[in-house]
């Protein structure tokens, strides 16, 4: 009961503090908007969001058989790649030269024994050499070739079966070779001719497909985080050691003050973020329903709570005000970068993209993008709820530990 009473008193104190310094509040909240706006303009100018260069793939055909020529033709004519991949036949020396000159993203080699291994049941290979300067493009080529090899292995199983039965009926070599070739073409074409020759996860780069909407939403997200940080520190008051001791005698804990500050920060930033979001929707056309607004509000509220709990945990651990402010700033900037708001997540290395799903800021911005840019009709809150629950438990444990150490 005393915990709730003391927390309520600190909430009232924080609200009176805001009321007493209301003339400063617009300036405090406007400064992050101007700063973030300048940063966003700078980053947009650094990224060329209109240029799209295709993946250049070289093919070295050392086997020079009808089967390998057919595989190359299928790769060149695969309609799903369109302008995103260009394939050319080159010699091995020319391929190496073009890789060194950064004219090829990667090249593959069809070895001399490719066809004989295919018909004799031996493992067939296609060596892929990537370009160190184009790692992402090289990974795309590697995935493509792995998919093609899976199709070839599927064709090879049928070829061996047909070849075995042809031998059992004493078919002559010429007819058997033609039958095997026909079976290879039929099977491989039927598999490779499906809607997708490569298994893939569709990744949409909103910074190029919807640049205005993307950067407006990213700016809103960054400004919201900045407001949370500024407001949290705006309400912070350094108590004298004597006052702290007297407050402890009345059962007042640091956790009660922090929770009150979090609640007031959430209240103020929610009001200003709501107004900013309304203005954003009016300026940039977003198709929203009432349910979408509720989902967006829940995501922003959950993330804001998780972020503020992170600030509170840092405050519990670090006592020096200047060092604490520095860690808060580093923590905030790191979340902004990892969220994909400053730099689109698609430009991060692949291994980092897999790890980003565990970052609360990335999770929140991802679902905001899905609702606003991809018109998703649902959102997942479980991960943010989990982070918030774990954060609250850790914050309570840190508070109890700190009170025990002081005692």
Question: Residue 196 has what pLDDT?
Answer: 45
**Domain locations along the chain:** 2-47+207-406, 55-192
pLDDT tens track for 83-118: 567 778 888 888 888 888 888 888 888 888 877 776
Which regions in the chain score pLDDT beneath 70?
Answer: 1, 22-25, 27-29, 31-33, 35-53, 74-84, 118-121, 148, 151-159, 163, 173-174, 176-178, 180-181, 183-211, 237-252, 405-407
Say if residues 176 and 139 touch (Cβ distance below 8 Å).
no
Burial class (CB in 10 A: 0-12, 13-18, 19+), 373: middle
Chain-centroid distance, C-alpha 244: 44
Question: Residue 392 has what pLDDT?
Answer: 93
The CATH fold assigned to 55-192 is: abc type-2 transporter like fold (3.40.1710)
DSSP structure class, residue 49: S
Question: Residue 388 has what pLDDT?
Answer: 94
pLDDT tens track for 278-305: 888 887 877 788 888 999 999 999 999 9
Residue 7 CB coordination number (10 Å)? 19
- CA proximity to 105, closest of 85, 134, 148, 128: 134
Question: Residue 364 has what pLDDT?
Answer: 94
Question: Residue 224 has what pLDDT?
Answer: 92
């Amino acid at each position: 009961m005393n915990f709730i009473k003391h927390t309520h008193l600190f909430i009232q104190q924080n609200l009176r503090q805001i009321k007493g310094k209301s003339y400063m509040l617009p300036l405090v909240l406007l400064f992050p908007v101007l700063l973030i706006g300048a940063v966003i303009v700078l980053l947009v100018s650094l990224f060329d969001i209109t240029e799209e260069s295709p993946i250049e793939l070289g093919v070295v055909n050392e086997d020079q058989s009808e089967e390998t020529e057919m595989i190359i033709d299928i790769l060149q004519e695969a309609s799903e790649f369109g302008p995103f991949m260009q394939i050319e036949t080159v010699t091995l020396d020319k391929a190496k030269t073009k890789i060194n000159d950064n004219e090829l993203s990667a090249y593959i080699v069809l070895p001399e024994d490719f066809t004989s291994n295919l018909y004799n049941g031996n493992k067939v290979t296609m060596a892929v050499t990537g370009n160190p300067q184009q790692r992402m493009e090289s990974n795309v080529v590697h995935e493509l070739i792995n998919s093609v090899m899976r199709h070839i292995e599927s064709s090879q199983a049928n070829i061996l079966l047909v070849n075995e039965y042809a031998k059992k009926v004493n078919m002559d070599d010429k007819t058997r070779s033609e039958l095997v070739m026909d079976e290879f073409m039929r099977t491989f074409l039927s598999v490779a001719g499906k809607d997708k020759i490569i298994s893939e996860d569709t990744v949409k780069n909103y910074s190029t497909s919807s640049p205005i909407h993307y950067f407006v939403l990213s700016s809103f997200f960054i400004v919201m985080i900045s407001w949370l940080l500024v407001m949290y520190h705006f309400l912070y008051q350094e108590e004298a050691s004597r006052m702290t001791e007297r407050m402890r005698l009345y059962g007042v804990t640091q956790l009660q003050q922090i929770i009150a500050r979090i609640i007031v920060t959430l209240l103020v930033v929610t009001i200003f973020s709501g107004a900013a979001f309304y203005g954003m929707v009016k300026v940039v056309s977003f198709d929203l329903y009432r349910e979408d607004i509720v989902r967006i509000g829940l995501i922003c509220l959950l993330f804001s709570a998780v972020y503020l709990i992170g600030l509170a945990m840092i405050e519990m651990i670090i006592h020096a005000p200047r060092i604490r402010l520095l860690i808060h700033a580093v923590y905030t900037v790191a979340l902004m970068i990892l969220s994909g708001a400053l730099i689109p997540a698609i430009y991060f290395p692949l291994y980092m993209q897999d790890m980003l799903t565990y970052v609360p800021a990335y999770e929140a911005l991802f679902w905001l993008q899905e609702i606003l840019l991809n018109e998703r009709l649902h959102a997942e809150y479980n991960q943010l709820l989990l982070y918030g629950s774990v954060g609250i438990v850790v914050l309570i444990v840190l508070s109890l530990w700190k009170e025990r150490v002081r005692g």
